[in-house]
Structure 1
Amino acid sequence: MLDDYAEQIALNGTRLGRPESPALEGAASKAIENAFRELIEHRYFYQKVTVDLTDMDAAIKESVKQAKIELARSIGPVERLPTPATPKRLEELRREVGARRWRLATRNLGDNPSTAKIHRIARTGAQPIGTDVNDMNLHFYLPAVRLQCASRCKGSRTFTALPSSHDSEFDSPYPRKLPAGTEQVFAAVYRCDMCREAISTILIRRVGLRLHLCGFAPRREPLPVKSLPEGLVPILNDAEQAVAEGDLYGGFYHLRTMLEHYLKTRLAIPITQQIRGDDLVENYYEALETGIKGILPSLTTAWEKLSTWLHTRTGEAEDYQKQRDDISKHIEVIVALGAGAFAKPSLSQPDAKSAA
């Protein structure tokens, strides 16, 4: 199992004299990397991700088991065996990961070969003998991520973290100990692998095992939804940007506006014509073929929920994502079915740029 974390174990270097290491360092480092990827690729501003240490628990159990076997082979049966990986012990080790200082590293060592060795050495570093385990550095790699390249590529591309992401920590107020765990702030600098021109700097705050997405510079471009008709994409982009920048209720408004535009176009109703939302949805469902109504995500539910959250100023970013995905899936299926989706043929061929 340790082979799964060989890269992370090599990065951490320091070996603690206990059976749980280096499995803990390797698996925890990988889990932190995965959490950063989830946060950067899929989360909005001020959303949080908790580092999932499930695989670390499994790696520690296997490491302790192997330590017992090796000890028995070398000196025979002994009274003092390695500490078993009990639930209590695993919880202690989870708290340790939340308390230790995390040091980022990048697989990219710079564009200048002459300085690559310097970057490789600088990203690790030793600590004094006798350093408390909760003060030991835990090194992790910043992951490669998929982002929208706003430069020459104009599409979704792989971005790689640059060595400039590393913080020397000279005169920095971080890391600092809080009741919930160690607090740190990371400024990760990413560059598009394809054009090597687009650069994004991402601000992430860490407290214990929790990561908070705090900023993108320049602002992140939303990934396009290819299944949506061309005329709806700008409205969805407005919704995505609003939620990404912390304006959740603006996101609800734009998403409901997109739904209104889709429904009116399908029903051949002028956008400027006044009509109650529930009547609009009801008229749309009357036009659908009976056989497909029950298998599609409900636009009735989407309209009702978006209206409720908008007017009561409730709801979460996850609620927005759920309704966005349901509406997009509904439209995608309708577009794929074409004329077969509607009982009234006149509704199956709306303007190509606006709704199909």
Structure 2
Amino acid sequence: MDFDLSEEQRLFKESLDRLLADVYDFDTRKKCMKEKGGWSKAVWGMLADHGLLGLPFAEADGGFGAGAVETMIVMEALGKRLVIEPYLATVVIGGGFLRHAGSDAQKAAHIPAIIDGSKTLAFAQLEKNSRYDLFDVATTAKRTSDGWVVLGKKFVVLNGESADTLIVTARTKGEQRDKSGIGVFMVPADGMGVTKKGYPAQDGLHAADITFTNVAVGADTAIGDPENGLPLIEQVADEARAALCAEAVGAMDDSLKTTIEYIKTRKQFGVAIGSFQSLQHRAADMFLALEQARSMSMFATLAINLDDPTERAKEIAAAKVQIGRSGKFIGQQSVQLHGGIGMTMEAKIGHYFKRLTMIEHTFGDTDYHLRRVSEGGALV
């Protein structure tokens, strides 16, 4: 299996790393966190100006027609800089639904606005007690003469506080845990009957709990088959998991580099603590964990294009297991090696650990995916 980037991909990675290094440092992140919605419209516009928001969309829709590898490169770069702008929610997840199943009219109405940065999306999926099961949906969508009426409540909707459009999973028939009878609907965030309660999450990103009280939407708001949307949801969720794996690798990479620089300068007993052999061994273990995670992130990226959805899900689940393990180990060791300063809000190392922890619990934690891998007939 070839993990090498092409020359074009390598140049893209280098230019993106330079761009973010110039415009997005830790102080910039802290300023962005204080803006309305928890992220910067100016930074989002900069990402749009450099074509990053249009990267995965087809050229016919105004994008660049890039693939999963380019998304991996972007997410890893965003992870290194702890970028909090809603690239995952809008481009990867929201854009994924439109790319795979959006009608021509839906693509025309939403994709150009995503690409130019004037519209953001949010995926409203998680419900009370549903845990990580994508098919556990109690929110309903009742068919009417001219569309649908959505009723229910969603929790921890990433970017839900400031999104212009909500992509909502809702049950059109059957019982709460049936795998059939689930639809995906585009609901205006300011629609009548939509109530949002926004809040900052532990990692600095913002989310919202959203209530849909008899929200009327048109017949053209359903993405794909409104009675068999689970395969589409699973596909987009797997793409989001692969993107999160890449973001985690970026966060782990910079976390390790920051920690090594710190132990080279932090002195104890008159010498740098990095000279202690036990800490050198610990840093070496962190490096091995990072390289394991990097390999599995690439593995997940390549798995996205598999034709067999069962095989795709199993391989991406295996990657999520390794990412969770490596992220926990590197995050904990980084904070411990920093000592007390690692526990403060002023030090970025703790922010890396928080983001890695949230990534581990997004779209399934390590135990959940280890169970999926085991049930799929493979071992990690």
- TM-score, scaled relative to structure 1: 0.30
Give the structure with the larger helix fraction.
Answer: 2
Larger radius of gyration: 1
